[in-house]
Structure 1
Amino acid sequence: MSPDDETYGAPGAGGSGQTRTRLPDRGEGPRRPGRSSARSTVAVVGIVVLLLAAIAFANRGGDEAPSGRPEADRPDTAPTAATGTRPVDGKNHGIATGHARDAQGAQSAAANFAVALGSAEMFDKERRSQVLRTIFVPSTVARFEAELTKAYSPTFHQAVGLNDDGTAPEGYTFVSRTTPIGTKATDTGNDRATVEVWCSGLLGLAGENSTRPVVNSWFTITLDLEWTDGDWKIAAHSQREGPTPVPGDNRASTAEDMAEAVEGYGGFTYAR
């Protein structure tokens, strides 16, 4: 299957909401089973003001049916079966762009935005600026950029185990990755939409003797989107903890295995 394939996932029993993922476009790693209690102290390094919640790491240690298709024409079921709208028509700085102007497109945009804003790239000032300019309503970018510049201070970088400039210490791999589990459009209109994205996140340093090992958390991001310049953009956002599953019995991987996974496994472009 190539990165341009339009159908992803496997059918199964489930509700009417449909989700698919597209093939990886760069070398990043998978999520790992982890300790939700530890990762909850991290909140999630990602979404702008939501990203500010990551400071906690240092300080505290009725789904809407997609529009545009008659009910009878939609696949019968399965949360992992693909629906009919092509998710995106391009990318900007590696972020999916060109989402459909409907509920499906808004959910696809919200999932992809969560991935971008929960990535390790947000710890790099130049890359962070590119992300904000790509996915936020233009009138809000300057304000959010100023807030994040203060949030991503040398003190904060040190608190999460990084160098003052946000780079990982020699011999360590920094992991910050958000994986959407599902999306739900709670309000939609021609030029606006409110979408909830249920996510799992990873954050930490992979390496021998790391004092900030990679841990996992669960959270739900709510994004208020506006149709701007031919695509959905973030106008406002909020975050809450959970829903969080009971931790499994998987044995934690070694630091070497975790670093190799992050460097060897690519991320996804998400689509509703």
Structure 2
Amino acid sequence: MSQGDDHGYGGDSGGRGDDPYSTLGGTRQTRTRLPDGEGGDHGRRPARNSRSLVMVVGVVVLLIAAIAFANRGGGGNEEASGGAKKPGTTGSGPTAPTGTKPVQGKNGTIASGFAHDEQGAQSAAANYAVALVSAEILKPDRRGEIVRQIFVAQRVGELEAKFNEAYSSEFLEKVGLDENGNAAEGMTYVSRTAPVGTKVTAYSTTSATVEVWCTGVFGTAGVSSTNPVSNDWFTMTLKLQWAGEDWKVDSFAQKEGPAPVNTDRTASNADEIARAVEEYGGFTYAR
């Protein structure tokens, strides 16, 4: 299987898939409008009568009841049948919590021991997407370990060789890293992904195909950086196999979007971005 045939190890053609490494390793807001003041009253708070007070209390009671109902994890027919509603195999239903514990432990820094069901497959795909687009995979001394943890055994040798070829010393130099995958002194390399949602498009007890919609920040933070940190939106499709009592990746692909409209929020400076990366840790993703 050649890199060209895979478009990102089995991906779609076009968009990001034409460059399978454009997002991997990071090589590539929403504003809330507050209501205006009561102009006619010149900022004066209107008197609240008893009727309005009763309405407010009623709304609060309804909100509390809704939250309590949601926290039960189900209701109506599902509750009466004694189980939570299972997500559809076609991915038409929204991501929703279930009662199954999706993660049992960790293999190094990557979650492992996923449940043998759709929920576990989605959790595995989300965590593996984060690892595949991390700064760690650009480091030669970590890359092989990550590949062995994520992929089925029969694909490890082939994919480790492809990753090594893709992330050559020449490639690392282009993105401002040394041969060990480290940024220059005074610089901080950033590659962090956050899954926004997952969707199962195929499922059996031995295999699953899961799409992971992601956003993330990628680039080098530093005053003289020629690769400034920016954000991106993309979707990774991971084909999983149940192997060795866990979900493992057989192949994956990526494509651009779906991306929201960019806001006009002022970008943070390099020091703020670098500090955020150091101070805020990542998550283990589960559903």
> TM class by shorter-chain length?
0.7 to 0.9
What amino acid is aligned across from residue 124 of structure 2 in structure 1? A
Normalised TM-score (structure 2): 0.69
| Structure possessing the higher radius of gyration over alpha carbons | 2
Which is richer in helix?
2
Kindly indicate whether residue 167 of structure 2 is the aligned counterpart of residue 149 of structure 1.
no
- Map 1:1-272 onto structure 2 (within 5 A): 50-51=20-21, 57=27, 71-72=78-79, 73-74=83-84, 82-272=97-287
Aligned mates of 1:134, 1:51 — CA distance in 2: 20
Percent identity over paired residues: 51
Contact 2:207/2:240 (<8 A) preserved: yes
2:21 and 2:249 mapped to 1: Cα distance? 14
1:43–1:217 contact (8 Å) kept in structure 2: no
Structure 1 unpaired stretches of 5+: 1-41, 59-69
- 1:43-66 CA-to-partner distances (Å, cap 9, x unmatched) read 59xxxx9436659958xxxxxxxx
CA distance in 2, matches of 1:122, 1:169: 17
User: Closer, same or farther in 2 for the Cα pair 1:56/1:114, shift >3 Å?
Assistant: closer
Letter aligned with residue 51 of structure 1: Y
Structure 1 pair 81–191 and aligned structure 2 pair: CA distance change class (3 A): closer
| Cα distance in 1, alignment partners of residues 269 and 217 from structure 2 | 15
In 1, Cα distance between equivalents of 2:115 and 2:24: 31
Does the aligned pair in 2 maintain the 1:55–1:151 contact within 8 Å? no
Q: Unaligned 5+ residue runs, structure 2?
A: 1-14, 29-76, 88-92
User: Structure 1: which 4+ aligned runs deviate by more than 3 Å?
Assistant: 49-58, 70-73, 75-82
Quick one: structure 1 residues 88 and 256, their matched pair in 2 at CA, closer, same or farther if it must change by over 3 Å? same
- CA 79–268 in structure 1, closer or farther in 2 if over 3 Å, else same: farther
- Cα distance, 1:178 vs structure 2: 1.2
CA distance in 1, matches of 2:197, 2:101: 17
Report SS of the residue matched to 2:285: strand
Q: For residues 215 and 232 of structure 1, do their structure 2 counterparts lie closer, same or farther at Cα, with a shift above 3 Å needed?
A: same
User: Does the 8 Å contact 1:110/1:197 carry over to 2?
Assistant: yes
Question: Residue by residue, what CA displacement relative to the aligned partner does 1:152-203 show, whole Å, maximum 9, x if unpaired?
Answer: 1111111111123321100011001111100000100011000000001221
Query: Partner letter of residue 21 of structure 2?
Result: L
Structure 2 partner of 1:67:
none
**Normalising to structure 1: TM-score of the pair?**
0.73
Shift of the 123–242 alpha-carbon distance from structure 1 to 2, 3 Å rule, reads same
Higher relative contact order, structure no. (Cα contacts within 8 Å, ≥ 6 residues apart)? 1
